[in-house]
Amino acid sequence: MRIRFHFIIFTACIATGVCAQQNLRHSAAGSNSHTVTLTNPVIPGYFADPSLVQYEGKFYVYATCDPWGGDSLACWVSDDFQKWTLHFLNYPTKEQCTSPSSNDNKVWAPSVVQKGDYFYMYVSVGSEVWCGKASHPLGPWKNMLGDKPLIAYDKTKYYHVIDAEAFIDDDGRAYLYWGSGWEWINGHCYAAELGDDMSSFKTNPVEVTPKNYFEGPFMIKHGGKYFLTYSDGKTIDSTYKVRYAVGESPFGPFTEAPNSPILQTTPELQVYGPGHHSFFRFRGKNYILYHRHSLPFKEGTAMRQICINEFEFDHTKGLIKNIAPNNTQKFPRVTNH
């Protein structure tokens, strides 16, 4: 029954254009046979808020289905970052992740990390954060807290309970960052250390909101410092962008960097509203995965597409260098035997 259900969804997506024909063009980068050239958007169709896991020679990209989420998550799988296969997961679904306090918002903004032999997912459903666990990136996934969210809806509406992102430090300790605002203003970011079970908090949540924060936190560590990256502006227009702030500990305090924002609308490249990103490293290079508006650009819409670009650190200044959202990106050639 589950296989039939997923096939029906996949067929429907094709019929409505969500899973549009791939428009990637791949070629060798000059005479360098060790790389290929990817063309953005790197994944076909309309998806947002990407999270990436590498496991056993494959890339797994988890993403929100646009517009404004669906009843389940999309997971795209590739072994070379060129040819992608779409999967829909058994968890989370809107039906499974609904509590007495949740609202009508659908399945948004996954974060998936591996710790030990298991994979852990933190996902926004109904303006609450839910958590799942699996022994394989494709599942089957299990709701770790049964019918309860890890973080419930904030009835005071001081902040919006979405966009949870897990970070595992060098010492193996795990942290969760989350939070946004309402009506595109007053974003708030919270952080807490996760318990050993990855479904409870070892410390009380504290607010760590840096300047110009709205949503989509993603933590990276470099040179002993903590880089809290995030988005601000409106995801439905060209103001959406990626900023970052730097701190000495996972809880900050965080000071916005002098060259923030580092990724933003670039009309000459026809790139509008890039943001809600994740970072990953592959074969000695650093990459940012993010969504941007589909073309032709139309304000007020949420038909976003997933793109990739390389990024670098300025080791002298201790900063992340500004990122050019180029429409092509060199990527290591992966040879499968």
Query: What pLDDT digit, counting tens, does each position of 221-250 carry?
Result: 999 999 999 999 999 999 999 999 999 999
Pick the catalytic residue from 66, 165, 215, 232: 215
Return the pLDDT at 153.
98
Residue 271 carries which DSSP code? Answer: B
CB 217 within 8 A of CB 275: no
CB 22 within 8 A of CB 44: yes
- AA letter at 219: M
- AA letter at 256: E
- List the chain pLDDT tens, one digit each, 337 residues: 333 334 333 333 433 344 333 333 333 333 457 999 999 999 999 999 999 999 999 999 999 999 999 999 999 999 999 999 999 999 999 999 999 999 999 999 999 999 999 999 999 999 999 999 999 999 999 999 999 999 999 999 999 999 999 999 999 999 999 999 999 999 999 999 999 999 999 999 999 999 999 999 999 999 999 999 999 999 999 999 999 999 999 999 999 999 999 999 999 999 999 999 999 999 999 999 999 999 999 999 999 999 999 999 999 999 999 999 999 999 999 986 4
Active site annotation includes 104: no
Return the pLDDT at 335.
82
Return the pLDDT at 33.
78
CB 125 within 8 A of CB 88: no
Handedness of CA 13, 107, 240, 331 (dihedral sign): negative
Pick the catalytic residue from 49, 128, 163, 165: 49
Return the pLDDT at 1.
38
CB 318 within 8 A of CB 225: yes
CB proximity list for 79: less than 8 A, separation 6 or greater = 57, 58, 59, 334, 336
CB 245 within 8 A of CB 260: yes
Name the helix (H) or strand (E) containing 8: helix 2-16
Active site annotation includes 215: yes
Which domains, from first to last, does the chain contain?
2-332 (2.115.10.20)
Q: Write the pLDDT tens digit of every residue in 269-299.
A: 999 999 999 999 999 999 999 999 999 999 9
Q: Can you name the residues that pair with 229 across neighbouring β-strands?
A: 218, 244
